[in-house]
Amino acid sequence: MLKILLSLFLLIFLTISLSAQQKKNPAFKIIPLGVKGGLDEGNLSSYLIAEGGSNAYIALDAGTLHEGISKAIAGKVLSGTPDQVLKRNIKGYCISHGHLDHVSGLILNSPNDTSKFIYALPSVIKVLKERYFTWQNWANFTNEGDKPALGEYKYVYLEEKKDTILNNTSLSVKAFSLSHGTNYESTAFLIHAKGGYMLYLGDTGADPNEKSDKLEILWKAIAPLIKSNTLKAIFLEVSFPDEVADKALFGHLNPRLFTKEMASLNTFSDGKLKNTPIFITHMKPCLDCEERIKTQLSRENQLGLKLVYPVQGSMIFLD
């Protein structure tokens, strides 16, 4: 009898230990440094991501860095000073496109940063090289372009749909082209670690509005991951409420278009999309926009999707 009780105790102990270990080391850790889509220069699109057991982060876009890091430190999500976190914990930048609300933190903090990699599609690097890191607009802290090129940042040209190792982390990335208005390319980043996948989309319009099939291509690519429950989350923009006319969206989504795109993704995923949390990003801070967007998304959520609203400076664990 004693042997049986000891065996049961050991089994319970191992179960609790395994559960605690899994909780301690989720698939991913994400810290939103900025979640808005404009106007508030201290809260613009940027999300730090690391594998669950690591403090080596990649920034997915870099609209806001210093202010977001400061808030994360104040909330005891990160430790040290903003300068220390910037230099020590952020190992590189995946930039979805060249609009200021996605790159201003990168540019402004570059004089105080350390040697790192910038990962982007060729069209995005072209914007950074020709519009920002020039000696007329800002010092060129990169390894290409205007002379002298100071070489602090090294460009890594991503090839669409090809896995690329993110240096000094345990992550890799696969880039997918997005359409963000007339003849302007944005990017979706599919991040992989041994625990699974996470998808972050830069700004994007809906396929019908963009006269494109780029979202459909992306949805078909990630559908198997949803069906296998290895896609841990999707970060997707909804910039404006439904009252904004399609012609005034300028390559963005509203709740109605978001709902249509999610219906397509759900179909490709055999109805299993409700198992994957969807984080709503890039809401524009116009009058009552955030409140209206949330109300409209809730009303139109006939699929019962898990909609989540990230908070600047908080910690998100993805199991």
**Ramachandran angles phi, psi of 264, nearest 5°:** -65, -45
pTM for this model (two decimals): 0.92
Per-residue pLDDT of the chain (319 residues; tens, 9 = 90+): 444 444 434 333 333 333 334 446 899 999 999 999 988 899 999 999 999 999 999 999 999 999 999 999 999 999 999 999 999 999 999 999 999 999 999 999 999 999 999 999 999 999 999 999 999 999 999 999 999 999 999 999 999 999 999 999 999 999 999 999 989 999 999 999 998 999 999 999 999 999 999 999 999 999 999 999 999 999 999 999 999 999 999 999 999 999 999 999 999 999 999 999 999 999 998 888 999 999 999 999 999 999 999 999 999 999 9
Q: Please, which residues bridge with residue 90 across strands? A: 57
Asked whether residue 109 is assigned to any structural domain, the reply reads: yes
Residue 174 inside a domain? The answer is: yes
In the chain, the number of structural domains is: 1
Q: Give the CATH number of the domain where residue 48 resides.
A: 3.60.15.10
20 lies in a domain?
no
What six digits make up the tokens of 278? 């969807």
Strand order in the sheet with 185-193: 163-165, 172-179, 185-193, 196-201, 231-237, 278-281, 307-308
22 lies in a domain?
A: no
The answer to the question of residue 274 being in a domain is yes
Is residue 311 situated within a structural domain?
yes
Q: 71 is in which domain, residue-wise?
A: 27-318
What are the C-alpha distances in Å from 18 to residues 11, 22, 119?
11, 6, 36
Burial class (CB in 10 A: 0-12, 13-18, 19+), 258: buried
Q: Is residue 73 in a domain?
A: yes
Q: Is residue 10 part of a domain?
A: no
Side chain identity at 81, as an amino acid letter?
Answer: T
